[in-house]
Structure 1
Amino acid sequence: MRILITGASGSGTTTLGAALAEALSARHLDGDDCYWLPTTPPFVHKRPVTERLDRVLDALSGPGSVVMSGSVVGWGAEVEDAFDWVVFLTLPTALRIERLRQRETARFGHADPAFLAWAAAYDTGPSEGRSLAKHLAWLEARTCPVLRLEGDQSVEARLGQVLAALEPRSGAGKPAQVAAASVQSRPEVCIRLADPTDATEISALVCGLTDALLVDPQGDDAAAFYQSMEPVAFAQVMARSDRFYMVAEVEGQVRGMIMVKDLSYIGQFFVQAASQCGGIGSALWAAALAHAQNLRGEEGEFTVYSSLGAEPVYRRFGFKATGPTTIIGGFWCVPMSRPVIAAA
């Protein structure tokens, strides 16, 4: 069994990974050891990419179980898809930074302000390296079970939840519902066409996710975007004939939305943070693709200006980047396109 423990710096991935490896009599692999060359001081020189990947793949292909701690986002499908389980840890920013401050001071006698600033930027991204937006998009693209452990919990509490989730698969005799209670469930999702009466719910969903995607959440572009998403104004936009909107509902509440303009351009695509990695994004995309294709009835392509965090999800859906990262309307964007298969 190959298990990845991932999350923000300071969330406890290494500590939990080591504890889980000991509990499973597995080998523990620290992502930092693979990413960085051993130096004094540490974390100065990166390993060459081929050397890093060789180290990880050699460890994962070896005998017995392996628990890896760290982030592998952007390391390539051979590594990213190699795990049987992913455990994702979250922790409030202030608590993470304080723990990092204490850890760095204990190790090196001081905490580097630049490192703490980098770690603090995780939750608001986009950033170079780890960010919450990138992590959530990456988790959405996983096909293996994903276990999310949120908040300040002891190592023992976290370990117990992971072992409970793993037990049905390892044959330890726990009833299957134990894992179902711990692993993100796949909710029953209703996908439907939306209309202007849905504007208030959709606006709340989109605005609740937007700050992390903006270059400057306090800038003029951000203010203009939020003004356009006011329910009355947004309802008028929704009524335009050149686009359609779809929403994903769970228990009557809107958890996700997608907008397609001119049957070919994805203008908006959002899934509520708490509902990500549960298949809602995939269901919305499949429904929008089918609806647009039924209306078009001919081959063509879809295009999108993807946020940085959503790029792995769009790649999973068959999109490819068509240009460099740019800024449009205050958002970091990657232009992408995907061929469309004509309806049979």
Structure 2
Amino acid sequence: MHDFWTIRPMETGEEEKVSALVRRVFDLFVAPEYEPEGVQSFYRYIEPQCLRERAAKDHDILLAFVDKTPVGVLELREGRHISLLFVDAMFQGRGIARALLEEAIALARQRDPQVAKITVNASPNSAFIYERLGFRATGPRQSRDGIIFIPMEKPLEPLAAQGNVSSEDAP
């Protein structure tokens, strides 16, 4: 729990609200930069049934709530790649994206304590946000199925470097 929001995994039945949140933010900030093909590709990706299917497989979908309203979402694929990170426009700039990312990194490390990086294909207008979160571009601006992105990654420090004591260090 944070000052005014909580983070938890998406539960079955919340897919409609999550899809609507992502679409609202996408339409406001990302869609204006895309060709119609990219917008339609993205809409297909965030359909509630698709969210449900991915969550049942190898995707973790984390939600940030204010009261009982979802205001942020992060989808992590295979414990290593962010496929969605959206925060409601009214709640941006308050640390919700950073908190979702920290929670996603913790999940990634639960799956694989040696995970060395988290990747994302950032929309061009969000690249600066990812840079503030510690990501760096790993390639040029690209387009796939009309979706424009910049590949980025965030190197993760080894757990031992963060002050965790390994069994080798124990007396």
Query: Shorter-chain TM-score: what band?
Result: 0.7 to 0.9
Secondary structure class of the residue paired with 1:297: coil
Match of 1:51 in 2: none
Preserved contact between residue 15 and residue 51 of structure 2 (Cα < 8 Å): yes
Secondary structure class of the residue paired with 1:324: coil
The question of 1:253 aligning with 2:51 is answered no
Distance 2:157 2:59 in 1: 20
- Counterpart AA for 1:309: N
- Counterpart AA for 1:306: A
**1:35-65 deviation per Cα after TM superposition (whole angstroms, max 9, x unaligned):** xxxxxxxxxxxxxxxxxxxxxxxxxxxxxxx
TM-score scaled by structure 2?
Answer: 0.82
Equivalences for 1:86-97 in 2 at 5 Å? none
Distance 1:342 1:201 in 2: 36
Match of 2:53 in 1: 236
The question of 1:300 aligning with 2:138 is answered no
Preserved contact between residue 299 and residue 339 of structure 1 (Cα < 8 Å): no
TM-score scaled by structure 1?
Answer: 0.43
Which residue of 20, 26, 32 corresponds with 1:210? 26
- Counterpart AA for 1:269: L
Distance 2:45 2:151 in 1: 22
TM-fit CA distance, 1:236: 2.0
Distance 1:337 1:228, change over 3 A: closer
Distance 1:341 1:196 in 2: 33
Which residue of 170, 180, 190 corresponds with 2:6? 190
TM-fit CA distance, 1:210: 1.7
- Counterpart AA for 1:298: Q
**1:141-183 deviation per Cα after TM superposition (whole angstroms, max 9, x unaligned):** xxxxxxxxxxxxxxxxxxxxxxxxxxxxxxxxxxxxxxxxxxx
TM-fit CA distance, 1:283: 1.1
Match of 1:291 in 2: 107
User: RMSD of the alignment, in Å?
Assistant: 1.9
Preserved contact between residue 196 and residue 239 of structure 1 (Cα < 8 Å): no
Gaps of 5+ in 2: 165-171
Secondary structure class of the residue paired with 1:277: coil
Equivalences for 1:113-192 in 2 at 5 Å? 188-192=4-8
Secondary structure class of the residue paired with 1:196: coil
Equivalences for 1:100-111 in 2 at 5 Å? none
TM-fit CA distance, 1:331: 2.7
Number of residue-to-residue matches in the alignment:
157
TM-fit CA distance, 1:197: 2.2
Match of 1:274 in 2: 90
Gaps of 5+ in 1: 1-185
Provide runs of 4+ in structure 1 moved above 3 Å. 214-217
- Larger strand percent: 2
Preserved contact between residue 41 and residue 147 of structure 2 (Cα < 8 Å): no
Q: Which has the larger radius of gyration?
A: 1
Higher relative contact order, structure no. (Cα contacts within 8 Å, ≥ 6 residues apart): 2
Secondary structure class of the residue paired with 1:197: coil
Match of 2:125 in 1: 309
**1:242-282 deviation per Cα after TM superposition (whole angstroms, max 9, x unaligned):** 21110000011100010111111111100001110111111
Distance 1:277 1:243, change over 3 A: same
Distance 1:207 1:334 in 2: 20
Identity of aligned residues (%): 27
Distance 1:266 1:228 in 2: 14
Preserved contact between residue 7 and residue 64 of structure 2 (Cα < 8 Å): yes
Distance 1:227 1:320 in 2: 28
